[in-house]
Structures are given as structure tokens and as C-alpha cells.
């Protein structure tokens, strides 16, 4: 435990000109007294840690001292190589840079750990796109990725969904998200944060002007909130259903999972026949028909009448197809 903390302390001091005892204590989650003892231990071990007193003082490494990453354990080294997503790096034009970085890290590892990169790549692989779709890399993604990395504003032309018209926006690109094989840009336009599909950009001009990044912006948190809001916005219609126990178990795997679980939680107790009645938000009656038909006789549509009629018609047509069937053949 202490050895790992000492290595982290050295790496922190390598990454900054100097750090106060309070800053180190906060980063290492220890007391300032422990920081003092750790600094003394490093000095006794030959690491040139120097303490400067006074208001502007702190701890620093003397003479540009650098340490090799010999403190990495095997699982830490494998996690480092696993953190890179080859397809995403390639799409953003960072494949060569990532390869060089992996070589540099490998050279710094202990000989016993240098097979970590090949070991983990043989055991784990991320395939981000969904099934039955060919991933397509947007031509303008590398330019957008460069702007994101350098905090440079962009002037982008954007094709709105379902429209032939285009809009031009000056954007401060904060972050990229790869969702099910589709790239999205989270950017500030004027005073609002918005999300844009990269494959709908028709032109991108990267400016020489850098924007001041809001350090409070949390990309994962923003994306999670946006995704939840987007999903809710799609569910504009409600249907009322009676579900058997089997249908209730399968419902979260048939429609929007969150909507299904909320509907089941809000439902009353099962009736005498063991079926439960739920009110479920859906995208549209057409979408609901396609999704819910897979539950077959385990589900009964109560409302709206139009959807119930469609299910009744489907049942009639199925009955017509199979009513003359005897055993495994036909009469």
C-alpha cells in the first residue's frame, strides 16, 4: 500500500513543477504529516525530493529527475493497454500516436511485464458497433477530434435530421462520444451545450482561436443526462396492457428497459388470472405493434382501441394460417 503511494507521489511531482504538502495530501488521501514522512523515505531511497519552506514553498524533484514506470503491477499494466480503443483511435487519426505511446510505455516496464500489451489483446476485444450494421467513419471526424484535443473553436455546417436544409454554427467542441458505432460531438453553441452527429456535418473549419473550457463540464455525466432525456422524448404515446408473468419478465427486453421497469413498478397486484395491468409509454403505435407482437398470447392490449384492433386482426390471420394444421403437417 505504501509502496504504491510512494510511486504515485513521485509521478505527481514529475507531472508538476512543485506541489505543496496540502496538495499532495489531498491527491494521495493522507495527512500532511504522512506526506512529510513519505518525502523523507523517498529521499533516503535516493529519489531527489526537495522541500522548500515558505508561502510559495512545497515539494519538487531536483534536476529534472524522472523515474521509469517500474512500479506498475501486471493488472495495472494490462489495464493501461486495455484503455485504448483501436477502432476509435484509428477513426480519430490517432493510431500512430497511440502506437508510439504503447512502445514508450512498454520500454519503461519491467521485463516481466512487457508482454502485458499482447497478453490483454489476446483476451479482450471491444466491438463498439451494433449487429447488422457496417461501421462508417465520418470523413470529418479527424478534424473535429483535433479541435476537441486543442480546445479550438470550429465553424461547422450541419444537416438537420430528416431535412435537406443545412445550418451553420460556431461551436466550442468539448468532447466526442462513440455510441453503438455512431460518433457524436458534445459542444457549446452560444450559451447552450448540445449534441451533434458527426456524420451530419457537411463542412468543418477549425479556427486558430482557442476557447476557454468550462472545467466543471462533466462529459460522461452530460452524455448520460442527454441520453436519458432523448429516450424519454421519444416515448410520446401510452398503451395499456395485460401481461402474463412470462410477458412481464420479457417486457424489459422487448421495449425501452427503463420505461418497462417503471411501468411494472407502478402496476397494481396481479388479477385472479395472474396477469398484471400496466400503462407503458412507447414511441408510437406502429413501433409498439412491432415490439409487443413478439410477446404473442402472453400479452393483451387493452388501450388504445386502434392498437387492440391491430392485434386482434393479427390473431385472426395467424388463426387462419394454422387452423387446418394437424400435428406437424397440414390436412
Tens-digit pLDDT profile for residues 122-181 = 666 667 677 766 777 888 999 998 899 899 999 999 987 767 788 899 999 999 988 878
Give dist(CA 92, CA 82) in Å, integer. Answer: 18
- Cell readout for 75 is 493488472
Find out whether 189 and 170 touch, Cβ atoms under 8 Å: yes
Cis amide bond preceding 304, omega within 30:
yes
Q: Between these two residues, 253 and 17, which has the higher pLDDT value?
A: 253
Give dist(CA 307, CA 282) in Å, integer. Answer: 12
pLDDT at 282 exceeding the cut of 80: yes
pLDDT, residue 288, reads 93
Q: How far is CA 6 from the centre of its chain?
A: 32
**Against a cut of 0.85, is the pTM above it?**
no
Single out the residue of 189, 151, 187 nearest to residue 170, CA to CA: 189
- Cell readout for 198 is 458527426
pLDDT, residue 168, reads 92
Find out whether 149 and 93 touch, Cβ atoms under 8 Å: no
Angle of the 21-28 helix axis to the 32-44 helix axis, nearest 10 = 100
Q: Between these two residues, 152 and 322, which has the higher pLDDT value?
A: 152
Q: How many helices (H) and strands (E) would you count in the chain?
A: 13, 12
Q: Give the pLDDT band (50/70/90) at residue 244.
A: very high
Q: What is the CA radius of gyration of the chain?
A: 29
Give dist(CA 62, CA 46) in Å, integer. Answer: 11
Residue 274 φ/ψ, nearest 5 degrees: 85, 0
Q: Between these two residues, 96 and 28, which has the higher pLDDT value?
A: 28
pLDDT, residue 263, reads 93
Give dist(CA 35, CA 27) in Å, integer. Answer: 10
pLDDT, residue 206, reads 94
Q: What is the DSSP string of 27-91?
A: HHTS-HHHHHHHHHHHHHTT--EEEE-STT-EEEEGGG----STT--HHHHHHHHHT--HHHHHH
Find out whether 148 and 206 touch, Cβ atoms under 8 Å: no
Per mean pLDDT, which range of 29-43, 72-86, 225-239, 303-317 is the poorest? 72-86
pLDDT, residue 242, reads 95
Give dist(CA 6, CA 277) in Å, integer. Answer: 60
The 10 Å CB-count burial string (b at 16+, else e) for 276-314 is: bbbebbbbeeeebbebbeebeebbbbeeeeebbebbeee
Amino acid at each position: 500500500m505504501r509502496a504504491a503511494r510512494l510511486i504515485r507521489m513521485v509521478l505527481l511531482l514529475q507531472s508538476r513543477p512543485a506541489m505543496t504538502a496540502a496538495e499532495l495530501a489531498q491527491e494521495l488521501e493522507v495527512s500532511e504529516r504522512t506526506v512529510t514522512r513519505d518525502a523523507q523515505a523517498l529521499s533516503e531511497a535516493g529519489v531527489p525530493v526537495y522541500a522548500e519552506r515558505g508561502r510559495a514553498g512545497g515539494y519538487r524533484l531536483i534536476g529534472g529527475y524522472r523515474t521509469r514506470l517500474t512500479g506498475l503491477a501486471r493488472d495495472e499494466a494490462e489495464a493501461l493497454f486495455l484503455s485504448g480503443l483501436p477502432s476509435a483511435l484509428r477513426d480519430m487519426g490517432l493510431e500512430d500516436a497511440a502506437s508510439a505511446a504503447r512502445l514508450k510505455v512498454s520500454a519503461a516496464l519491467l521485463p516481466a511485464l512487457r508482454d502485458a500489451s499482447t497478453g490483454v489483446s489476446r483476451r479482450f476485444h471491444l466491438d463498439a458497433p451494433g449487429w447488422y450494421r457496417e461501421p462508417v467513419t465520418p470523413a470529418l471526424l479527424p478534424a473535429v477530434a483535433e479541435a476537441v484535443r486543442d480546445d479550438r473553436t470550429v465553424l461547422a455546417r450541419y444537416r438537420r435530421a430528416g431535412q435537406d436544409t443545412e445550418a451553420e454554427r460556431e461551436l466550442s467542441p468539448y468532447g466526442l462520444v462513440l455510441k453503438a458505432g455512431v460518433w457524436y460531438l458534445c459542444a457549446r453553441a452560444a450559451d447552450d451545450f448540445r449534441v451533434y452527429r458527426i456524420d451530419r456535418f457537411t463542412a468543418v473549419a477549425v479556427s486558430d482561436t482557442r476557447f476557454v473550457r468550462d472545467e466543471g463540464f462533466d462529459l460522461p455525466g452530460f452524455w448520460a443526462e442527454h441520453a436519458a432525456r432523448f429516450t424519454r422524448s421519444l416515448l410520446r404515446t401510452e398503451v395499456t396492457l395485460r401481461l402474463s408473468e412470462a410477458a412481464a419478465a420479457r417486457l424489459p427486453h422487448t421495449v425501452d428497459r427503463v420505461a418497462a421497469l417503471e411501468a411494472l413498478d407502478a402496476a397494481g397486484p396481479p388479477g385472479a388470472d395472474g396477469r398484471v395491468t400496466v400503462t407503458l409509454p412507447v414511441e408510437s403505435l406502429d413501433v409498439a405493434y412491432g415490439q409487443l407482437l413478439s410477446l404473442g398470447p402472453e400479452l393483451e392490449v387493452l388501450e388504445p382501441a386502434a392498437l387492440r384492433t391491430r392485434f386482434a386482426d393479427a390473431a385472426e390471420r395467424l388463426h387462419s394460417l394454422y387452423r387446418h394444421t394437424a400435428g406437424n403437417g397440414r390436412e
